[in-house]
Amino acid sequence: MFRFFSLAYKNSIRNRRRSILTISSIAVSLCLLGVLIAIYHAIFYSQATPGAAIRLVTRHKVSLAQPLPVAYEEKIRKVPGVKEISVWNWFGGTYKDNRDPKNFFARFAVEPKAFLTIRTQMEMPEDQRHAFITERRACVVSRDLAEKLGFKLGDRITLKGDIYPVDLELTLRGIFDDPDAQQSLFFNIDYLRDALPLARRNWNGTYAILADSPEDVPRIAKAIDDMFANSNPPTKTESEQQFALSFLWFLGNIKMYLLSICAAVTFTILLVSGNTIAMSVRERIKEVGVLKTLGFTSDTILGIIVGEAITIALIGGVIGLGLAELLTSVVGKVGQNFVQQLHGLTMTLVPTAIALGIAIFIGLVSSFIPAWNAARTNILDSLRFTG
């Protein structure tokens, strides 16, 4: 069948205007489809980094808005397999003007020494680490945030509280690199506690935990939740990656949304491609009769016509994936501010293979019925066809 590939290719570009329009439609659709598949794969099937693979987060079982007692920290520390634990409190608040989107970034209160141990992939000069641990008002920020807002060592950063009824005057003492902490600022929990009313000092938002190994993570999560199952409040412990994904569920069933859009895009491409192939086959019924008089079998003619459709779909698919590669980098840069898994989003092997497979599927399905009907038309009916 491959000996007729050149014939199928030439037939696919014979009506150039129609072929270009069809390829363009498929390219745009496959571009959108490729980006959606890449997002879906990055969110739900990407591998955790080595650091994230050994970290867990413990929070209130009912809601993140509900705090946990300070006393839970020492109890969790005694669970076998727990290497280190730190408070990990979301501060929120406002930096300068909250109407400007660029001023939004993650702000956490932590226990500096324990937290630096937990962040195994955090890179920061030793003198900056020491300053963060020893200075009560010290804070550290990720390098991307420092470049975005023009922060420099020694800068004063003022955060106006909303969740916590205090304003913080922080001094920037460190700029770090960490693949799992983009657009983030961390400061000393003791500074926050000293500014709070006494009644609020005995509660924390969440706890960050470092396990001895990735194999210990499921066991530690179960042990912690079982320990506080009958307590008030109960806890929910999960891997850092699962914790990050839990924020997406606030938007609804993201899996269903993405898969529904992918299905709608695929169906639309099928309609476009199917209409093009049907028109092309209808115009060439007489040619089918000629091919049969020359000795071409029905199966060969079926293969040639299907091959034309697959060729058009693949050309459009390759162009679309090239566009998708450019678009994913933009989507990744914007989306990483909201979903950590989108950092460095790209068309990896799996999304590319799936998208190309869909392109072949579209070419095959959209052309099979017209090709089948044409291939089964007898010679006399083909030669006298006037439609």
pLDDT at 6: 67
Alpha-carbon 357 to chain mean position: 21
Residue 19 pLDDT more than 70?
yes
C-alpha to C-alpha distance for 70 and 208, rounded to whole angstroms? 13
> 261 vs 86, which has greater pLDDT?
86
Write down the pLDDT at residue 338.
60
Alpha-carbon distance of 309 to 147, in angstroms, equals 49
Domains of the chain: which residue ranges? 2-47+252-383, 67-232
Q: Whole-prediction pTM value? A: 0.73
Residue 190 CA from chain centroid, whole number? 35
Helix H or strand E segment including 142: strand 138-142
Residues 75-90: pLDDT tens digits?
A: 999 999 999 999 999 9
